[in-house]
Structure 1
Amino acid sequence: MSKVKILYDLGNLGKDAIHAIGGKAAHLGELIKRGIPIPEGFVLSTSAFERFINRSPFRQKIREILDKEIQLTEIIQISQTLQNFILETELPSELEQPILKRFNELKALVPHDFQVAVRSSANVEDLSEASFAGQADTFLCISSDEDLIEGIKKCWASLYSARALMYIQQMIKVPLNLVSMGVIIQKMVNSDIAGVMFTANVLTKDTNQVMINATWGFGECIADGKVDCDSIIVDKTSLEIVKKRIGPKLQMSVKNPDKGGTHLVDTPFKKQQVLCLTEDQIHKLVNYGIQIEKFFGGKPQDIEWAIERGQIKTLQARDITHL
């Protein structure tokens, strides 16, 4: 049996390794090589996912489903079937042991309150022609071995959600049996402020402006549309703030101390009607955005970021596909 590479440290591979670790991880690896601050972590390869499928007692049924196009009328039922097959398959020791070994090596570097994020990195994700954004699931604030394994399996299973299957067939238009999933395991950024930055104004299509959306706590609530966040427009050349809107930010996403993961809480009143970001933080974010755009051939970028104790971390960068 040929040796399969199960995992890589983030930064080992770059933008040309989408087939091996998926689009999100490949882009993050490229940013690490270029000196952009990224949370430390590792990525399970697409080969690890394929090995998992090959060890599943349901492998033949999974292959039979993926070898043909799924009709729209069947997609919800088939999605549930595929996801159940993934979740009911035990992770074989040949995968579990190296994953937990690397996870605990990462944990040893953090003296207390160690948690990770488990994030998808499909080989059809963050492509220049289709982003696959929001189709697969992310799991935050994971600290135990058991929750990590469960999070990985849920992340893999989300590749076969009804919305993901529809997106692959209708937007990406590749056979389902060619789609695979890497999984990123990164140290959590316990963010004080987080958000999304577009290195073009996606409302006016002005590529000479940067648009920043920001909120308190974790940034997931922006993508989910659960929080009315701050919005800032900046001129790329002068770094002048052209326009800013303070969103009410009535709630914020924070760690859930009882159940793990995250939950929404009411934002302290004094934070609701003030801008999250200082002018200095805005300028630093824009400068990172301009650098990242250059790294990816001058294509406008959709960048997720977070700030913890004043330190900016980039969580993701992908091409803006519709501008």
Structure 2
Amino acid sequence: MNAIVPLQQAENTEFCGGKASSLARWQKLGFQVPDGFVATTTALRTMISSHAGLAALADLVRQGEAPDSAYAEMRHMLLELPLPAQMEDDLLLNFSKHRFPFGAAVRSSGICEDGVENSHAGLHDSVLGVQEAQLVAGVRRVWASGLSERSVSYRQEKRVSMDPASHAVLVHGMVDAKISGVTFTRDPTSPESNQMMVEMCWGLGESLVSGSVTPERLLVDRESLQVCERQPGSQDAQIGLNGHRPVKNPARAKLPEGTLTELFHMCIQIDQIAETPCDIEWSVAEDGIWLLQARPITKFGAKQSASHPS
């Protein structure tokens, strides 16, 4: 596969990873997904093979014979060694084609990510608000984060591929979010209850995922789509495209009933198409509801929230 492909053509998980291939499918099904492109696993393999020292360390990692210092050395090389000239030009060309009005999010998309067994949630770096001049550094940072201590330990524990070139990089548009949230289409703390759990915050979802705010939480009946329980959140500041700003009235309900109903319908539709309970990330902007990620919930039983994903 090509080193860089449009998101619409990124359905091959082996080359584009779980996150990108999932979003490509949802986009084709008509869901509103921020458009973008993917630096496939081919791009990372090309980068590694372009430098003899990096390739030698990658071979040790694949064979399970690498000392701990090898991972740190590879991270440093991925951050500092030059990219093949054509690859850098192609990355910048694809970025300029999309004219991301609010900048781009640069995120990992691993082969073993976002599946039923393994989510890899929060293990790799994401870089937000990226402009063209920052793109190459953002891609490098995501590549290097795949060799962090946390990422390596997780893959060793789960006994998944240690291939350092096993993840792609998704570059897609930022959303000027007024509200962001996460929906578990079956409440993971009480899967027998036939309820969804919805958590939301003001602004971008980074506040929610990082655990820096107490989100508003709704429990919603999966059949009637009626709110069974509402727990107000606590949030003094929100993250927007231009940084932090105060929340004027943090106690008020975040979404009107009509938008809530539309959100609930979208989440149930995704659940039904996927034929499994899903963990869905979304944002609401002036132009509607945007789907940012949808992956199977990897386990039930333990208390979960968006700020402590499985």
- The TM-score with structure 1 as length reference comes to 0.87
Asked whether 1:311 is paired with 2:284, we answer no
Match of 2:254 in 1: 276
Say whether residues 1:246 and 2:232 are aligned partners: yes
Unaligned runs of 5+ in 1: 257-262
The reply on whether 1:35 has 2:30 as its aligned counterpart is: yes
**Which of the numbers 98, 106, 114 marks the counterpart of 1:126?**
114
1:137 aligns to 2:117 (yes or no): no
CA contact (8 A) 2:41 2:165 kept: no
Aligned to 2:307: none
Task: Specify the alignment match of 1:80 in structure 2.
Answer: 72
What SS does structure 2 have at the residue aligned with 1:167? Answer: helix
Find the counterpart in structure 1 of residue 5 from structure 2.
8
Q: Letter of the aligned partner of 1:224 in structure 2? A: S
Q: Deviations over 1:154-187 (max 9, x none)?
A: 011110111000011102x034127511111111
1:85-131: CA deviation from partner (whole Å, max 9, x where unpaired): 11011111121112111111111xx6xx4411111101111121111
Return the alpha-carbon distance in structure 1 between the equivalents of residues 55 and 45 of structure 2. Answer: 13
Query: 1 CA distance for matches of 2:204 and 2:18?
Result: 22
Alignment of 1:145-160 (within 5 A): 146-160=133-147
* Contact persistence 2:54–2:74 (CA under 8 A): no
| Aligned AA (1:299) | T
Letter of the structure 1 residue corresponding to residue 127 of structure 2? F
In the TM superposition, residue 310 of structure 1 has moved relative to its aligned partner by: 4.7
SS in 1 for 2:163: helix
Correspondence for 1:260: none
1:224: how far off?
Answer: 1.0
Question: CA contact under 8 A between 1:69 and 1:175: conserved in structure 2?
Answer: no
The amino acid that maps onto 1:36 is: F
* Alpha-carbon distance between aligned partners in 1 of 2:80 and 2:267, rounded to the nearest angstrom: 41
Q: Secondary structure at the match of 2:86?
A: helix
Question: Please, which moves more after superposition, 246-255 or 224-233?
Answer: 246-255
Contact 2:198/2:218 (8 A) holds in 1: yes
SS of the equivalent of 1:177 reads: coil
Give the whole-Å Cα distance in 1 for the aligned partners of 2:80 and 2:254.
Answer: 43
Task: Say whether the 8 Å CA contact 1:158–1:164 is kept in structure 2.
Answer: yes
Asked if the contact 2:180–2:204 (Cα under 8 Å) also holds between the matched residues in 1, the reply is: yes
Structure 2 counterpart of 1:267: 247
Secondary structure (helix, strand or coil) at the match of 1:130 reads coil
The letter of the residue matching 1:212 is V
Matching of residue 234 in structure 1 with residue 220 in structure 2: yes
Structure-2 separation of matches of 1:155 and 1:59: 16
Work out whether residues 119 and 137 of structure 1, in 8 Å CA contact, stay in contact via their aligned partners in 2: yes
Deviation at 1:217, TM superposition (A): 0.7
Count of aligned pairs between the two proteins: 300
Is 1:301 the equivalent of 2:278? yes
| 1:11, distance to aligned residue in structure 2 (A) | 2.1
1:216-235 matches, cutoff 5 A? 216-235=202-221
Aligned match of 2:303 = none
- Separation in 2, partners of 1:150, 1:52: 14
Amino acid at match of 1:9: P
- Look up the equivalent residue of 1:318 and give its one-letter code: R
**Could you list the per-position Cα deviations for residues 226-253 of structure 1 after superposition, in whole angstroms to 9, with x for gaps in the alignment?**
1111101111111110011110112211
Describe how 1:88-103 pairs up with structure 2 within 5 A. Answer: 88-103=80-95
| Separation of aligned partners in 2, 1:84 and 1:23 | 26
AA aligned opposite 2:110: A
Q: In 2, are the aligned partners of 1:124 and 1:179 still within 8 Å (CA)?
A: no
Q: Per the alignment, in what secondary structure is the counterpart of residue 208 of structure 2?
A: helix
Question: Counterpart in 2 of 1:106?
Answer: 98
Q: Note closer, same or farther for the CA distance 1:142–1:175 as it changes in structure 2 (3 Å cut).
A: closer
Alpha-carbon spacing, 1:207–1:134, altered in 2? closer, same or farther (3 Å)? farther
After TM superposition, the score normalised by the length of structure 2 is 0.91
Deviation larger for 113-122 or 190-199:
113-122
SS of equivalent to 1:286: helix
Instruction: Tell me how far apart the structure 1 counterparts of residues 65 and 255 of structure 2 sit (CA, whole Å).
Output: 46
